[in-house]
Structure 1
Amino acid sequence: MTAFQDQPSTPVHASGERGAFGRRLLTQVDRGGLVGELAKCAAADRGFPREGDPEAVRKRLSMGQAEGDMFEALDEAELDWASY
């Protein structure tokens, strides 16, 4: 018997532990500042990638020709999510 037999056969990834970035962002609608504004826009967007990572959200913002402030808010939200 090895010490590794008790380990799960499927690795647990950090992003899975903290949940999808898109879903996490949607919980920020009551937050002040630009992150809150981004979350409100995301909640109103039927095509928002709720199960997406930060890159999927960044792509969605680019497709919608979002202003630079929203990309700054995305960067801030990504840092918060990564540290969670």
Structure 2
Amino acid sequence: MIASKLAPTKSRLHAPSASDAQAGAVLIHSGLSAALINVDADMGSLDDPTAREQAAQTRRRLQDEGDGLLKRPRDRIIGEVPGSA
């Protein structure tokens, strides 16, 4: 899984660096979401119901992982950068 490859760090975040990291995470998440919109559109073209269900499950998993990864830096920034809450 993607999330298991990201190791948490103990360092404190600098506000400008933290906002840059959050902005990058949002951009990456937007790209994932856009790709998954195409998956949704194309899923109906799968004739095999089993393949369609597998694609749907994988799509949901990817969205859930992406949503969770997007939340992690935001939660860390709120917890560490003064005035970010």
- State the TM bucket, normalised to the shorter chain: 0.3 to 0.5
User: Hey, which of these two has a bigger chunk of helix by percent?
Assistant: 2
- The alignment's TM-score, normalised by the length of structure 2, stands at 0.37
- The alignment's TM-score, normalised by the length of structure 1, stands at 0.37
